[in-house]
Amino acid sequence: MSNSIFRKKSINKIMADVASGLSDSEHSGNHLTRALNVKDLTLMGIAAVVGAGIFSTIGEASFQGGPGVTILFVITAVTCGFSALCYAEFASRIPVAGSAYTYAYASFGELIAWIIGWDLLMEYAIGNIAVAISWSTYFVNLLELCHIHMPKYLIMDYFSAFTAHSQMAQLTASHNLAAITDDIKQGAIAWNSAPGIGGFKLIANTPALLIVIIITYLVYIGIRETKRATNGMVILKIAIVLAVIAIGFFYITPANWHPFMPNGFSGVMKGVSGVFFAYIGFDAISTTAEECENPQRDLPRGMIYSLIICTVLYVLIALVLTGMVSYKDLAVGDPLAFVFNKVHLPGIGGVISFSAVIATASVLLIFQLGQPRIWMSMSRDGLLPKVFSRIHPKFHTPSFATIVTGFVVAIPALFMNLTEVTDLTSIGTLFAFVLVCGGVLLIPREAAVAGKFHLPYINAKFIAPVLFIIGAIFFWKPMIGLFSGENAHENFPFFLFIILSAALTVMAFIKNLSLIPVLGLLSCFYLMTQLGYDNWIRFLGWLVIGLVIYVSYGYTHSSLGKTASPAHKASLWFGLIGGILSVIAITILTPDHSALALILEGIVAGCLGFLAVYLIVSSYFLLAKKGKPTT
């Protein structure tokens, strides 16, 4: 027992808890069902990765980087590969549910474990909401091809319709009719045709709700049913993707591949967010460790096999896209359908729409499978209420956590348009990768499980300094430029990367660190710096909210902790007062902001005020205690 926020849960303790039935909050002897082999895990990895990215974000990435975007796919695959190897190392040592959260608990301690668990909940939730909305779009397009037309107010979220209605009124009043786009027209139609109660319109994205209900039901009733559905969808969508590649090959014009990098390497890197979003998911299968027949052998293989297969598919798709049409024409939301329409094969568009429906559904399935297992792992450690770790006696799934996950995804997908925050999914995933790679550096190599997967050890003592010096020589001008300009503060993520690189280089030289996790940590953190200042602020805001929950609940309920001290309880009350005062202050200082902006700013400001006052008061109590003479 300990009061330290960095208390660790040993690997032996983690394995003993699972074996003794502590995975079930009611200690009823219910366990998750072991039903997955390496083939299932590989297909699950492909199911999670090959989804909305290959049908949407690849277009914008190709527009920015030209045919050279294929290089970015390889770079991203290598980056993910480093992380996959680190995940595999942990999976061979700690074959339990929880993924990066459990790995961080064993290597960094409880506070970092909470942060990564909270981060994963954001990653999975926002990713699922975006995928559900994306699935709805593809499904409606498929219905349109079949001449089935749903009312606009049943296929659009409330806020998009309201915004479109307002824009239509403004543009019409100003006689700027040329600025009225098709999206604005469709949203205005939805708003005007929707039934209402008073001033409230009944507008909701019902297809998104439908798919979340179906997927949640599948995940709830059992891992075997989920496995069968996943395998069927993956085989079908891979067959369609290969057919699209094969057909598109005959319509390639090699001249479209010249120049290969029309906007230079910087143009290629502009697509990093979209390309990385297309790779998100292979790590989700690590949450199924307790449902694998042989997790220490099969989980590493499943992650690595799926990553290799997806990379080959992505590179081929990118080459076909940029070969069929000029990269300048690919800034569209549906690039695959677009290029086949360009070469006068509109019938392929229907096949692509069908494939997109299957692909996005399989992605949603895997992430809906993974998120409840994160809830479950955090609950069994006491950081969340015990009900989240309840195992269903018949279906052997985390029942309550699965239902909660369904609500968390379905309700926002029904009413809100969150596609603009998908970058948060990327930054959350990369943060998890950074901590997993860092965690591998903290666990002793000698403790590896004999006969199981073991990360190859390459001494980074001299390689890391050489790479750092080469990087400094080639990029010294851009590095100096970071300190100039009006918005120099927005470069703070890259400043952190430089500091981290220098510190890790020194540590590699002194401690003989392993090269693969070092490269994985640095490459993932570098990709995080490319995701924009605003996304970093939103991400940090989410972590602040999580820290408030940890301080007020997780810290005192942790299975590794002691009873909360009177000083801690008093600090919480002072922190609450600080949070309330912060909310009042932000409301007074920003009265002209919209209601939604005020709510979001109020939540973050309240959490910051709570944490600031809590830390000050608890530090005072700590110093006062140390100053008292002992008897």
Task: Kindly indicate the confidence band of residue 26, based on its pLDDT and cuts at 50, 70 and 90.
Answer: very low
What does the pLDDT average to over 551-579? 84
Tens digits of residue pLDDT in 433-483: 888 888 888 877 655 556 667 788 889 888 989 988 888 887 766 667 666
Nearest to 83 by CA among 337, 281, 352: 281
Closest CA to 48 of 90, 80, 23: 80
Tokens of 498: 């430089």
Helix (H) or strand (E) holding 197, with range, is strand 196-197
Q: CA-to-CA distance for 477 and 479, rounded, in angstroms? A: 5
Averaged pLDDT, 380-403: 86
Q: Is the pTM of this model over 0.95?
A: no
Give residue 344's pLDDT: 82
- Asked whether residue 27 carries a pLDDT value surpassing 50, the answer given is no
State the average pLDDT for the chain: 81
Q: What are the residues whose beta carbons fall under 8 Å from the beta carbon of 44, sequence distance 6 or more?
A: 36, 227, 230, 234, 284, 285, 288, 302, 306, 366
pLDDT digits 0-9 by tens, 214-250: 988 888 887 777 778 888 888 887 888 888 889 888 8
- Band (pLDDT 50/70/90 cuts) for residue 562 is low
pLDDT tens per residue across span 39-81: 888 888 888 787 766 766 677 788 888 888 888 888 888 888 8
Would you state the pLDDT for residue 507?
92
User: Can you give the pLDDT at residue 373?
Assistant: 84
Binned at pLDDT 50, 70 and 90, residue 28 comes out as very low
Which one, of 129, 87, 106, 152, lies nearest residue 14 by Cα? Answer: 106
Handedness of CA 274, 276, 278, 284 (dihedral sign): negative
Report the pLDDT value the prediction gives residue 504, as an integer from 0 to 100.
92
pLDDT surpassing 80 at residue 84 = yes
Q: Which amino acid is at 227?
A: K
Percent of the chain with pLDDT over 70: 87
Using the Cα atoms of residue 373, residue 376, residue 380 and residue 381 in order, give the sign of their dihedral: positive
* pLDDT digit string, tens, across residues 415-443: 776 555 566 777 888 888 888 888 888 87
- The two tokens of residue 216 are 């949640």
**pLDDT number for residue 95:** 73
Alpha carbon distance 252, 319 (integer Å) = 9
Q: How far apart are CA 509 and CA 518, in angstroms?
A: 12
pLDDT in tens, 265-280: 777 877 776 677 677 7
